[in-house]
A = this chain, B = another copy of it.
Amino acid sequence: MTAPTPRRAPAGAAVLREDVTEAIRAAVFEELAAVGFARMSIEGIARRAGVGKTAVYRRWKSKLDLVLDLVGAFAAQGLPAPDTGSLHGDVRALLEVASHALRHPVASKVIPDLLVEAARHPEIAETVKSTLLDGQQGVVTRIVREAVARGELPEGADPARALDLIVGPLYWRLVVVRTPLPPGYADDLARSAVAALGA
């Protein structure tokens, strides 16, 4: 006969709470991918996660909060600032990270969804902008500043335009046109972006 396992209620409850949170997060991704933001409901998320609606509402007050929380976590882990010592190297590294990120379900399904909402609701636009774009703009601003310091770009090079020239073509191709990148595409794009920045 073995001794009974001691009950560790508080710790067990904490683990359970974490599990529920993770189950809800996973369910949100699945629901988003399946039906999109507009049609997604807290009820559908709860059903998919196998929890009650209250469990969702205890953690997030709306589906928008839920999605912005996930997007924020995704954006925070992404985009390390490259520091390769050359403009071409930095742009190439940024394109590598961005192209990986834009193929992730969060980017390819959830970001377009959020943009649709952002086009109609200024408060969503503001949150999406600060969550998703400010981080990217910060990285590009640093890349441009260092390229200017090395003499690779002229004084006064505009970081906002640089972001457009580096990320724009990739986003267009991966998220709008949605055709696969041919081999060597990221290299071509890096070369093009560097030429575009210097023009």
Give A contacts to B, CB under 8 Å.
33-39, 108-109, 112-113, 115-120, 125, 129, 133, 160-161, 163-165, 167-173, 175-179, 185, 188-189, 191-199
Where chain A touches its partner, the secondary structure class is helix
In the bound complex, what is the Cα–Cα distance between A192 and B170 (angstroms)?
16
In the bound complex, what is the Cα–Cα distance between A117 and B173 (angstroms)?
17
Q: How far is the CB of A135 from chain B (nearest CB, A)?
A: 13
Are B165 and A179 touching (Cβ within 8 A)? no
Can you list 25 A-B pairs with a CB-CB distance of less than 8 A?
Answer: A34-B120, A36-B116, A38-B38, A38-B39, A38-B116, A109-B120, A112-B116, A113-B116, A115-B175, A115-B176, A129-B178, A133-B177, A163-B172, A163-B177, A164-B170, A164-B173, A164-B177, A164-B189, A165-B169, A165-B196, A168-B172, A171-B176, A191-B199, A192-B197, A196-B196
Which one, B35, B118, B170, B188, contacts A168 given CB within 8 A? Answer: B170
In the bound complex, what is the Cα–Cα distance between A196 and B161 (angstroms)?
14
